[in-house]
Each structure stands twice: as C-alpha cells, then as structure tokens.
C-alpha cells in the first residue's frame, strides 16, 4: 500500500476568482505595473497566483500583479486563499523587518485606503505554488 501523505505545499489551493473580489492593500509603482502587464501579455500565461485573505479578498502580496491584470482587462485571477492566522503566513514591516500588525492592514482596507508602497512583506512557508494558466482563460 502506497503512503501518500499530503505535503504542506500541496495543501495550498490555487483558485480562480473574479477580479472584483481582490482588494488592493498598498500603493504601486505605475511604471512597474505597465512593465509587468507587458511581460504577462508576452508570456501569455499567468505564472504567480495572488495570495489573498479568503474572507475579505485583501491582497497579501501581489498588488502590482493585481493592477497589471486590471490594465490587461482580465476578469478573473488565480489566487491562493489564506487567512492571516495561518501558521504558514507571516507579515513584517518591509523596511525594519519587525512584525507588522495585521489588524492595521484589515482596518485600513475596510476604509478602502491603501498603505504606502512597500509597507508590508508577507512570507509564506512553505513557498506558494506557481501556476501556468493561459491569460485568454482569465479575460
């Protein structure tokens, strides 16, 4: 009998959700967004799912990818739905590397405000899975 224990990486779920569900959490660099959109269009595939808070749609990491998808006119996006109290998720301040108060992210987002560019750094252990979804399926 074969032992097929699920690894933690396999326990992540990549889902496709309507782009309206995704809520940006940080400001972005518009030039980087345009460059990323051109790269995604050229590749023809979406390679990096956007991790989101599953109950609110808050973007944990990938605000530039979200804006690039909007620029490309995509209607759906691959994501990895998670919750902030998942032990695989940690959030630190980008500049100081001290733990970041997740409640601050939630509060600012409920007011539909954005944190400054590169405020938070989310880590996922184990790393999140990749995808290879044709962008034509997301349009």
What CATH code is carried by the domain that includes residue 75? 3.90.1530.10
> Is 6's pLDDT higher than 50?
no
* pTM as predicted: 0.90
pLDDT at 92: 95
Here the tokens at position 69 are 């998808």
Pairing of strands 15-18, 133-134: unpaired
**How many separate domains does the chain show?**
1
Q: Please say if the pLDDT value at position 50 is more than 90.
A: yes
Span 28-33, average pLDDT = 98
Contacts of 122 (CB under 8 A, 6+ apart): 51, 60, 61, 89, 90, 91
Provide the domain limits for residue 53: 15-137
**Does some domain include residue 6?**
no
Q: Which tens digits make up the pLDDT trace of 116-132?
A: 999 999 999 999 999 99
Q: Is the pLDDT of residue 18 over 50?
A: yes
**pLDDT value of position 108:** 81
The percentage of the chain sitting over the pLDDT mark of 90, rounded to a whole number, equals 83
pLDDT band at residue 10, thresholds of 50, 70 and 90?
A: low
In a domain? residue 2: no
What distances in angstroms separate CA 3 from CA 7, 9, 13, 46, 125, one per listed residue?
A: 12, 17, 21, 33, 23
How far apart CA 70 and CA 73 sit, in angstroms, is 5
Please state which of the ranges 84-93, 101-110, 123-132 shows the lowest mean pLDDT: 101-110
């Amino acid at each position: 009998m074969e032992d097929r224990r699920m690894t933690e990486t396999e326990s992540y779920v990549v889902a496709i959700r309507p782009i309206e569900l995704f809520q940006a959490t940080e400001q972005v660099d518009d030039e980087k967004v345009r460059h990323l959109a051109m790269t995604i269009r050229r590749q023809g595939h979406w390679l990096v799912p956007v991790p989101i808070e599953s109950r609110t749609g808050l973007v944990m990491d990938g605000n530039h990818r979200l804006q690039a998808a909007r620029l490309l006119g995509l209607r759906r996006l691959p994501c990895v739905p998670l919750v902030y109290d998942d032990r695989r998720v940690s959030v630190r301040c980008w500049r100081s590397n001290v733990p970041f108060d997740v409640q601050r992210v939630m509060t600012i987002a409920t007011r539909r405000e954005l944190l400054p560019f590169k405020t938070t750094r989310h880590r996922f252990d184990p790393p999140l899975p990749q995808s290879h979804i044709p962008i034509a399926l997301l349009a």
